[in-house]
């Protein structure tokens, strides 16, 4: 019975499929917030790899506990990378030689990319609040 519901919900949103970001299946779930990383990924998929399906990204009920765990892991890892980035930036500014800056900027870029490796987007809290029926 869950399967039939999924199809109906997918049709609602202008024919866009709702796909769970954890299991990758077409599911009903909590909507994911479209942040800058997701925009960037969509841009790459539209303009470079040309395989953007324009799906609505959700987290399904079954995957929610796993999502929670992954999300908190991502957030704490992000905090470490931000901390490291600040240390590098401060050291770079204190030493402030051209060589240090040339070294610091790629390190910062690398830290940023590394922090996105296990990217877990936030949920769209506003959409969930206005859509409590679908949650249950």
- Where does this chain bind Zn ion (CB under 5 A)? 20, 22-23, 60, 63
Q: Between 63 and 123, name the residue whose CB sits nearer to Zn ion.
A: 63
CB of 76 to Zn ion, least distance (A): 22
CB of 102 to Zn ion, least distance (A): 44
b/e map of 105-131 (b: 16 or more CB within 10 Å)?
eeebeebeeebeeeebbebbeeeeeee
Q: Between 26 and 52, name the residue whose CB sits nearer to Zn ion.
A: 26
CB of 49 to Zn ion, least distance (A): 23
Residues in the chain: 136
How would DSSP label each residue in 6-51? HHHHHHHTTTPPEEETTT-SB--EEEBP--HHHHHHHHHHHHTS--
Which residue has 């779930």 as its token pair? 29
Whether residue 4 contacts residue 10, with contact meaning beta carbons closer than 8 Å, is answered with no
CB of 88 to Zn ion, least distance (A): 37
Q: Between 6 and 115, name the residue whose CB sits nearer to Zn ion.
A: 6
Q: Between 60 and 120, name the residue whose CB sits nearer to Zn ion.
A: 60
């Amino acid at each position: 019975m869950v399967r039939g519901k999924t199809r109906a919900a997918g049709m609602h949103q202008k024919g866009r499929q709702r796909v769970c970001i954890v299991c990758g299946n077409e599911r009903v779930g909590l909507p994911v917030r479209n942040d800058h990383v997701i925009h960037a990924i969509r841009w790459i998929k539209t303009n470079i790899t040309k395989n953007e399906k324009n799906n609505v990204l959700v987290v399904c009920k079954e995957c929610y506990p796993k999502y929670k765990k992954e999300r908190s892991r991502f957030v704490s890892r992000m905090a470490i990378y931000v901390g490291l980035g600040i240390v590098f930036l401060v050291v770079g500014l204190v030493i402030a030689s051209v060589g240090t800056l040339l070294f610091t900027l790629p390190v910062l870029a690398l830290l940023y990319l590394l922090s996105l490796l296990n990217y877990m987007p936030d949920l769209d809290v506003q959409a969930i609040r206005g859509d409590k029926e679908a949650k249950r």
